[in-house]
Structure 1
Amino acid sequence: MSLSGKTLFITGASRGIGREIALKAAADGANIVIAAKSAEPHPKLAGTIHSVAAEVEAAGGKALALQLDVRDEQAVVAAMARAAEHFGGIDALVNNAGAIKLVGVEKLEAKRFDLMYQINTRAVMVCSQAALPYLKQSASGHILNLSPPLNLDAKWFAQHGPYTVTKYGMSMLTLGMSEEFKKYGISVNSLWPKTMIATAAIEFELGSRDAFKRARTPVIMADAAHAILSSEGRSLTGRLLIDDDILREQGVTNFEQYRFDPAGGSLVPDLFVD
């Protein structure tokens, strides 16, 4: 279960879960393409493609930092080609880039919905399509989408239906691509956290870090992603996985290690998880 020598193309990898997945794979000696918009330091958000590239190298991996807007399909195609030329191929695509606005239909601006749709749903298709020629050449190609199980309870649509639609679109593409790419031996899965994860996206959406006391760190998602991406021969495909579940399948029993605050209260379930 090692990603040594494998090349991972990770979108939105300049911070949060994407960064943590990159560092976990780097510890195996993997090649990491850090593809994100953040090339310059942000006054309120730590991390750029260059700072993560340095962390990847320090962790034992090889890095290629590429500034990329996943809404631009021509730029995506060019980035995939550059990554494949640099590292000699692509073995895994992690569609981690995301946009969130927890607002209902009545008050959501159309341009904000467009942004969420383009980054959440459309980019999964665009990036997967662009990576496909290289994944076909891999001995064990993977696509991993950071998207939830399909829970059709009306409560998940009532307050933020537009966001739900764009995230569920990712999961439906997971199911479709797993079948479509079966003939190429490519595994396609989704991964979602059981509990809230302490990330900048959550902090800014909720307006504070108070919720972090009842959240887990991104490390749990990185460990779960590693288990998925190191599986072989489509032994794991077409699944909408929860981090807890896949780690339990791998024999993990200590989940307290993932708490952001060991003294915090009961963990907050993530969206779409009952």
Structure 2
Amino acid sequence: MELAGKVAVVTGGGRGIGRGIVDRFLAAGAKVAVLQRRPLDEKLAEHPDVQHVPVELQDTEEIRTAVDEAAEHFGGIDILVNNAGMMFEASISDITPEQWDLMMAVNLRAPLFLTQAALPHLRKRGGGSIVNIGSIEGIGANPQHAAYSASKGGIHGMTKAMAVDLGTANIRCNAVAPGWISTELSEDYLTGMTDSAAARAALNDLHPVGRVGTPEDIGDLVVFLAGDSAHFLTGEVIVLDGGRTARLSSP
């Protein structure tokens, strides 16, 4: 198995994209520490290769303690996936300083200090892989997403900087920029529309592959980026969106 003997830390791994990553990591033979505030569901909580570490990602001291706890539990860390994030909609005119600061604290500051906390453990293992979850909204933007797009654009830039700074320690850093991924939240959004079937069909038609993505699609790519097969790949932001952003609008 690709990740046999590896230990991964995944933030926000209990649901959505994070859950797809965790499930694929477990299938690839890794042990996984899930760092998040919410408890895990029964299936994940009872898995022998999963540890839940409660943490408030706005608190840098809690971050360091949680990472150290994960390393102690499994005997080290080989992989860090900075997945946890948040999103809200607000116009440029209406964004408050408090909203902006919260978005940056969770989406941009936390990944930096999670990486900082993981570095001693990665160095002890002789290197490792960091995967940051960005977004196609770090490349383009939807209306009223200025704060979210700024945070994800920051993740993309920080990923490249991490790759430059950490390469000599044999630590690689890449980012995945997902497009529309089917999660509980996105399904609730579609279900709440007046004609959800038509909205779903129109959304699928935006993608050359004919469908939206799944958390497992993201998980498959993250497994590759975390594994030894990607040993010469670092500093990249990989768009995973079923071809949506590659497709030109009709003339």
| TM tier, smaller | 0.7 to 0.9
Residue equivalent to 2:215: 218
Please give the alpha-carbon distance, in whole angstroms, between the structure 2 residues aligned to 1:33 and 1:71.
18
Deviation track 1:157-194 (CA, whole Å, cap 9, x = no partner) reads 7632221111111111101010000121100000022x
Q: Which amino acid aligns with 2:5?
A: G
Write the mapping of 1:84-233 to structure 2, written as runs, cut at 5 A. Answer: 84-148=71-135, 156=141, 159-193=144-178, 195-203=179-187, 208=192, 210=196, 214=204, 215-231=212-228
Residue in structure 2 matching 1:53, options 37, 45, 51 = 45
Q: Which amino acid aligns with 2:65?
A: A
Q: Quote the offset at 1:226 in angstroms.
A: 0.8
Please give the alpha-carbon distance, in whole angstroms, between the structure 2 residues aligned to 1:191 and 1:12.
15
* Aligned residue pair count: 235
Write the mapping of 1:16-95 to structure 2, written as runs, cut at 5 A. Answer: 16-39=16-39, 48=40, 51-54=43-46, 56-57=47-48, 62-95=49-82
Q: Quote the offset at 1:201 in angstroms.
A: 3.7
Please give the alpha-carbon distance, in whole angstroms, between the structure 2 residues aligned to 1:201 and 1:115.
20
| Identity value in percent | 30
SS at match of 1:126: helix
Which ranges of structure 2 fall in alignment gaps of 5 or more residues?
205-211
Q: Quote the offset at 1:139 in angstroms.
A: 3.9
Q: Which amino acid aligns with 1:18?
A: G
The 3 A distance-change label for structure 1 pair 191 and 35 is same
Contact 1:198/1:212 (<8 A) preserved: no
Q: Which amino acid aligns with 2:7?
A: T
Which ranges of structure 1 fall in alignment gaps of 5 or more residues?
40-47, 245-254, 256-266
SS at match of 2:91: coil
The 3 A distance-change label for structure 1 pair 273 and 177 is farther
Contact 1:101/1:205 (<8 A) preserved: no
Please give the alpha-carbon distance, in whole angstroms, between the structure 1 residues aligned to 2:148 and 2:67.
27
Structure 1 vs Structure 2 CA RMSD: 2.7
Q: Which amino acid aligns with 1:130?
A: A
Residue equivalent to 2:207: none
Residue equivalent to 1:2: 2
The 3 A distance-change label for structure 1 pair 150 and 12 is closer
For the pair 1:238 / 2:235, whether they are aligned, the reply is yes
The 3 A distance-change label for structure 1 pair 26 and 100 is same
Deviation track 1:119-175 (CA, whole Å, cap 9, x = no partner) reads 10001111000001011122440110001368666xx27632221111111111101
Q: Quote the offset at 1:95 in angstroms.
A: 0.2
Contact 2:85/2:106 (<8 A) preserved: yes
Contact 2:159/2:173 (<8 A) preserved: yes
Contact 2:163/2:173 (<8 A) preserved: yes
Contact 2:164/2:235 (<8 A) preserved: yes
The 3 A distance-change label for structure 1 pair 90 and 183 is same
TM-score by length of 2: 0.83
Higher relative contact order (CA 8 A, sep 6+): 2
